[in-house]
Amino acid sequence: MEIKTDRLLIRPLGPEYLKTYNEYAMSPENARYMCFLPVEGEAESVAFLKTAEEEWAKPHPKFYEFAIIHDGEHIGGISIHMEYGKPVLGWIINRKYWGRGFAYESAKAVMEHFASDLGIRYFCAYCDTRNTASFRLMEKLGMKRAGESGGRKNRASPEEAFEYKYEIDLDHDVK
């Protein structure tokens, strides 16, 4: 499965992206608000990328991990996984590429693809309440804040944080 936009190619993430994956997934600064990042070493990255590749090989993957490619360069990742039967969207962009609209462009394209090709019309996403860029992106996508809760544990932080949940139902919430 490949998704194309004007600037991006969004394709399955796998072991061939180890070096560029590590650039953002091992960076504490890049992943400071992430629950499962930063990775703690290359072995963890290799295992994750192999699992992502194996999932893509299944007829009905339980999760989809995509590489975001810009001008032939792997600049980040975007994913959809199922939580209680509902698709959860997530993304991370290498900080060298922050502020250029790549997360928005890739998230919009993935949502549109899943809506048109798989009939998925509802999406949700979560972020640390301190991650202003992330919740503004969710709002730009047309998502509405659906809740706030505590107990979020970001891997790079010793304390618990609060998180927002955003959601959109494309049949009802489209601008």
Which tens digit of pLDDT belongs to each residue from 24-63? Answer: 999 998 888 888 888 889 999 999 999 999 999 999 898 9
| Contact assessment for residue 114 and residue 87, using Cβ atoms and an 8 Å cutoff | yes
Question: What is the rounded average pLDDT for all residues in the chain?
Answer: 93
Nearest 5°: phi and psi at 15? -60, -20
pTM given for the model: 0.92
Cβ-Cβ contacts under 8 Å for 153 (sequence gap 6 or more) = 35, 160, 161
Least confident range of 11-15, 84-88, 113-117: 84-88
173 has a pLDDT exceeding 70: no
Cα–Cα distance for residue pair 117/111, rounded to 1 Å: 10
Q: Note the pLDDT of residue 84.
A: 85
174 has a pLDDT exceeding 80: no
Domains, the chain, in order of start with CATH, read 3-169 (3.40.630.30)
If you average pLDDT over residues 70-76, what whole number do you get?
97
Cα–Cα distance for residue pair 52/65, rounded to 1 Å: 6
H, E, C per residue of the chain: CCEECCCEEEEECCHHHHHHHHHHHCCCCCCCCCCCCCCCCHHHHHHHHHHHHHHHCCCCCCEEEEEEEECCEEEEEEEEEEECCEEEEEEEECHHHCCCCHHHHHHHHHHHHHHHHHCCCEEEEEEECCCHHHHHHHHHCCCEEEEEEEEEECCCCCCEEEEEEEEEECCCCCC
Cα–Cα distance for residue pair 19/80, rounded to 1 Å: 22
